[in-house]
Amino acid sequence: MTDFQLEVFQNEYLPEGAREVNAIVTVTASGAPGRVPGGGGAAPAESAAEVIIVDCSGSMHVPPTKLRAAKDATIAAIETLRDGVAFAVVAGTDTARLVYPHDGLVAANHQTRAEAKLAVSTLRANGGTAIGQWLQLADRLFAGHRAAMRHAILLTDGQNMHETPRQLARTLKAVTGHFVCDCRGVGTDWQVNELREIATTLLGSVDIVAEPSGLEADFRAMATAAMGKSVGDVSLRLWTPQGATVKFVKQVEPTLADLTGRRVESAPRSGDYPTGSWGDESRDYHVCVEVSPAGVGDKMLAGRVSMVVPGSNEVLGKGQILALWTDDTALSTKINPAVAHYTGQAELAEAIQEGLEARKAGDVGRATARLGRAVAIATQTGHEDTAKLLAKVVDIEDPVAGTVRLKRSVDTVDEMTLDTRSTRTKRVGKTSSES
């Protein structure tokens, strides 16, 4: 049985009249069954399901190595599935077609893996791109199976040309909460914002695979991670006192994801925020609550956080967010390092995305200012990977001050990699005030 431990990191001291309470909640899951050779080891195999969605539009044939690499990657993911895991392969064009099996999902074993790999080897590139239809078919496949862990891998090399943004938005709304989807874009002809929206909505990851040769290792890693999940559909539950307002709830590590709008009321003054499925791992969440101010020396329970299985009262772990008003400025003005760090990480992602948008729009002044700010934050927070990506887009004159010049020529892959990975965060050491 997976065990959840919650730690709360905050400065609980507030100056007189202050209303805003911030805390970083670290959730650590442990105790999942040990892994077995081949990428398995988590919940019973029959409680897991996997759908692999492969873009087979005409552009996947340019160059031919792209589709070949996608086939090899899909085969690698199939080989990673544990015996008993229900799976299917979908070919995506301007429609969605079930490649294997012929109907529904099938349990992985030696025979079905061999049959699936043979079916994948026959894939051809032809047609357009309608990602919403791909997701709808995956949703129907999952709906016919009672698996607790439902995971999809979606690969595309292009934009969603054969349906409108509104159609895709309707599909995402319809399938939200039904399965987790990790998205990958191969090459540079796809849209980062489009795949990021899909991945964020479906609580998955998004990344660029610049060269087709990188697909196989990436697919194998995603399938292995999915096989390591032991608990599905876990929510973070937040209780707040009478008169309090939840300003936001965000996942801030390993990636940024705003969960505020995903709240589902669970009880008076309590709401659940989806976090997806879990294996042995740790994630951080930033919770911000606005409360009614109290007098100096007064202490308040500003929030109670717990991890729960939706639809039940089973509490998998819990912690408290406190508020204590003081007239000691030495106490009240101290910013908790974890809160400060992740606030900076959110600003970093925002600066990168706004800078890149300004660059595309030809607004040199704003692009330079925002990307310069990103360089300064990355330097201050020790985010070396992001700093290296920024250096491919701007010439850095003073990293601490954020003085930069836009490069005249930037490879599209470098720009897209920076954009795609802007929401990845770096964990910081924390000091706990309550746990």
Give the closest residue to 119 by CA, choosing from 138, 92, 99, 103: 99
Instruction: Quote the pTM value.
Output: 0.92
Q: Treating both helix axes as pointing N-terminal to C-terminal, what angle do 192-201 and 131-143 enclose, rounded to 10 degrees?
A: 20
The per-residue pLDDT for 428 is 72
pLDDT in tens, 260-287: 999 999 989 999 999 999 999 999 999 9
The per-residue pLDDT for 37 is 32
Q: Which of 299, 334, 369 is the last residue of a domain?
A: 334
Phi, psi (deg, nearest 5) at residue 237: -100, 130
Q: Are residues 315 and 401 in the same domain?
A: no
Q: What CA–CA distance (Å, rounded) separates 134 from 181?
A: 12
The per-residue pLDDT for 170 is 98
Q: Cis peptide leading into 310, omega within 30 of 0?
A: no
Q: Which of 267, 300, 334 is the last residue of a domain?
A: 334
- Say yes or no to pLDDT of 288 above 60: yes
Q: Residue 5 gets which letter from DSSP?
A: E
Q: Are residues 163 and 299 in the same domain?
A: no
Residues 6+ apart with CB under 8 A from 62: none
Q: Are residues 240 and 222 in the same domain?
A: no
Which string of DSSP letters, residue by residue, matches 354-378? HHHHHHHTT-HHHHHHHHHHHHHHH
Q: Are residues 285 and 403 in the same domain?
A: no
The per-residue pLDDT for 39 is 38
Asked if the structure places residue 434 within a domain, the reply is no
Q: What CA–CA distance (Å, rounded) separates 231 from 3?
A: 10
User: How many domains are contained in the chain?
Assistant: 3
Task: Between 124 and 3, name the one with better pLDDT.
Answer: 124
Q: Which of 194, 227, 260 is the last residue of a domain?
A: 227
Q: Are residues 12 and 99 in the same domain?
A: no
pLDDT band at residue 35 under the 50/70/90 scheme: very low
Residues 6+ apart with CB under 8 A from 51: 87, 88, 89, 90, 105, 138, 141, 142, 151, 152, 153, 179
Q: Are residues 96 and 209 in the same domain?
A: yes
Q: How far, in Å, are 244, 245, 287 from residue 241 at the CA level? A: 6, 9, 14
Q: Are residues 122 and 27 in the same domain?
A: no
The per-residue pLDDT for 137 is 98
Q: What CA–CA distance (Å, rounded) separates 134 from 124?
A: 16
Q: How far, in Å, are 53, 97, 248, 275, 390 from residue 257 at the CA level? A: 23, 31, 11, 10, 21
- Say yes or no to pLDDT of 45 above 90: no
Q: What CA–CA distance (Å, rounded) separates 256 from 135?
A: 23
Give the closest residue to 390 by CA, choosing from 253, 366, 402: 402
Q: What's at 401, amino acid-wise? A: A
Asked if the structure places residue 419 within a domain, the reply is yes
pLDDT in tens, 83-110: 999 999 999 999 999 999 999 999 999 9
pLDDT in tens, 302-349: 999 999 987 777 888 999 999 999 999 999 999 999 999 999 999 999
pLDDT in tens, 121-170: 999 999 999 999 999 999 999 998 888 899 999 999 999 999 999 999 99
The domain that holds 134 is classified in CATH as: 3.40.50.410
Q: Are residues 185 and 74 in the same domain?
A: yes
pLDDT band at residue 82 under the 50/70/90 scheme: very high
Radius of gyration of the chain (CA): 23
Percent of the chain with pLDDT over 90: 88
Q: Residue 402 gets which letter from DSSP?
A: T
Q: Find the mean pLDDT for residues 399-420.
A: 97
The per-residue pLDDT for 431 is 53
Q: What CA–CA distance (Å, rounded) separates 237 from 183?
A: 27
Give the residue numbers spanning the domain of 137: 45-227
Q: Tell me the pLDDT of the chain averaged across its residues.
A: 93
The per-residue pLDDT for 309 is 86
pLDDT band at residue 429 under the 50/70/90 scheme: low
- Say yes or no to pLDDT of 8 above 50: yes
